[in-house]
């Protein structure tokens, strides 16, 4: 009896992570290559196709045995047409990635938002196993999210659901990449933490932070701020605390809106650890309705750096 296989692709601005898995999601082979973003979309799509062919060869599987290739990409996307409408990291506009890959590989291709894929991955294989209503939030350079409602990935009416990073938590707050003010992403992301620290340095403060960045404000990032905070620097600790409190407000909002069983938090900023979790717990405790907050477990993501590719495999399994 022929065995069916699946391919998952996590397409990012810096790397393309591809895995070949059996129909029940067991990964058989995987590979990670740098994205040659500067060479343009046609070249990058060629990179994906070449990677898929290489994995097929490595495992000794024919293209006919692959049921589907699922690709997770930063949005916004037109999921039904398989078009990446805009990707700031890749500098792509309206790239019909589904059509182009299907032409090259003659295998069915589906696409979805990378945070949706990671949410599905956590739900099927990670921290969210066994839940029914799960919210996934990733806090790194930006803030992304994905919703599992009634055991299904929820896309909304035009594939735009789950953008928790662009919910407004501070009217007239800092300008966000999306053009609005006071988005969660503009207050809690790694980029926001670095921006606050640079503002502090510009005002003449933040000596410890600046020292840790080798004296160059351009080198300040959330890792530098977190390290200064961990050493007891009160200015750095305040910046981390503020970011985590806004995150807690965002989590309290989704708990009140959706009454989930679980909120899964992943991404680089969550690796700062206890100072961030403390701020989130305190805000949720004081702002979310008691029955809903008592029901919602708030837990760290389990899949780490592989969440994207495992999520893409989970998408392929749907
Ligand atoms: Zn925004």
Class of the domain covering 5-119+306-317: alpha beta
Q: How far is the CA of 152 from the centre of ligand 1 (A)?
A: 25
Predicted confidence (pLDDT) at residue 31 exceeds the cutoff of 80? yes
pTM of the predicted structure, to 2 decimals: 0.93
CATH superfamily for domain 131-301: ATPase, nucleotide binding domain (3.30.420.40)
Predicted confidence (pLDDT) at residue 2 exceeds the cutoff of 80? no
Q: How far is the CA of 52 from the centre of ligand 1 (A)?
A: 34
Of all residues in the chain, what percent carry a pLDDT higher than 70?
99
Q: How far is the CA of 7 from the centre of ligand 1 (A)?
A: 32
Report the alpha-carbon distance of residue 102 to residue 100 in Å, rounded. Answer: 6
Average pLDDT over residues 70-77: 90
Q: How far is the CA of 215 from the centre of ligand 1 (A)?
A: 30
Could you list which residues have their CB under 5 Å from ion ligand 1?
Answer: 166, 176, 178, 180, 183
Q: How far is the CA of 183 from the centre of ligand 1 (A)?
A: 5
Report the alpha-carbon distance of residue 302 to residue 310 in Å, rounded. Answer: 11
Which of 166 and 178 is assigned the larger pLDDT? 166
The predicted-structure confidence for 265-303, as pLDDT tens digits, reads as follows: 999 999 999 999 999 999 999 999 999 999 999 999 999
Q: How far is the CA of 93 from the centre of ligand 1 (A)?
A: 19
Same fold, 5-119+306-317 and 131-301: yes
The structural domains of the chain, with segments of one domain joined by +, span 5-119+306-317, 131-301
Q: How far is the CA of 231 from the centre of ligand 1 (A)?
A: 32
In the sheet with 83-87, reading across from the earlier edge strand, the strands are 77-78, 83-87, 92-95
Average pLDDT over residues 144-166: 95
Q: How far is the CA of 175 from the centre of ligand 1 (A)?
A: 8
Peptide bond into 132 cis (omega under 30): no
């Amino acid at each position: 009896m022929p065995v069916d296989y699946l391919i998952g692709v996590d397409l990012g601005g810096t790397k393309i992570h591809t895995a070949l898995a059996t129909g029940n999601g067991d990964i058989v082979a995987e590979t990670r290559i740098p994205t040659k973003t500067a060479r343009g979309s046609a070249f990058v799509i060629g990179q994906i196709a070449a990677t898929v062919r290489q994995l097929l060869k490595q495992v000794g599987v024919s293209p006919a045995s692959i049921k589907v290739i699922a690709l997770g990409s930063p949005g916004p996307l037109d999921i039904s047409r398989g078009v990446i409408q805009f990707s700031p990291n890749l500098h792509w506009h309206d790239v019909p990635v589904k059509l182009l890959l299907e032409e090259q590989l003659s295998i069915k291709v589906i696409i979805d938002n990378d945070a949706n894929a990671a949410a599905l991955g956590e739900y099927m294989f990670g921290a969210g196993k066994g839940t029914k209503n799960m919210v996934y939030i990733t806090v790194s350079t930006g803030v992304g999210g994905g919703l599992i409602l009634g055991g299904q990935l929820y896309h909304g009416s035009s594939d735009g659901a789950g953008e928790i990073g662009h919910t407004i938590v501070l009217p007239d707050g800092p300008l966000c990449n999306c053009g609005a003010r006071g988005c969660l992403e503009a207050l809690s992301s790694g980029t926001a933490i670095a921006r606050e620290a640079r503002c502090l340095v510009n005002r003449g403060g933040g000596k410890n932070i600046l020292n840790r960045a080798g004296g160059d404000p351009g080198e300040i990032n959330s890792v530098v701020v977190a390290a200064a905070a961990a050493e007891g620097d009160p200015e750095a600790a305040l910046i981390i605390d503020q970011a985590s409190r806004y995150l807690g407000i965002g989590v309290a909002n989704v708990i009140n809106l959706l009454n989930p069983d679980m909120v899964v938090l992943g991404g680089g900023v969550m690796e700062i650890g206890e100072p961030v979790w403390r701020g989130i717990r305190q805000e949720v405790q004081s702002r979310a309705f008691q029955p809903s907050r008592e029901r919602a477990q708030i837990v760290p993501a389990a899949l780490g750096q592989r969440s994207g590719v495992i999520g893409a495999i989970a998408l392929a399994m749907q």
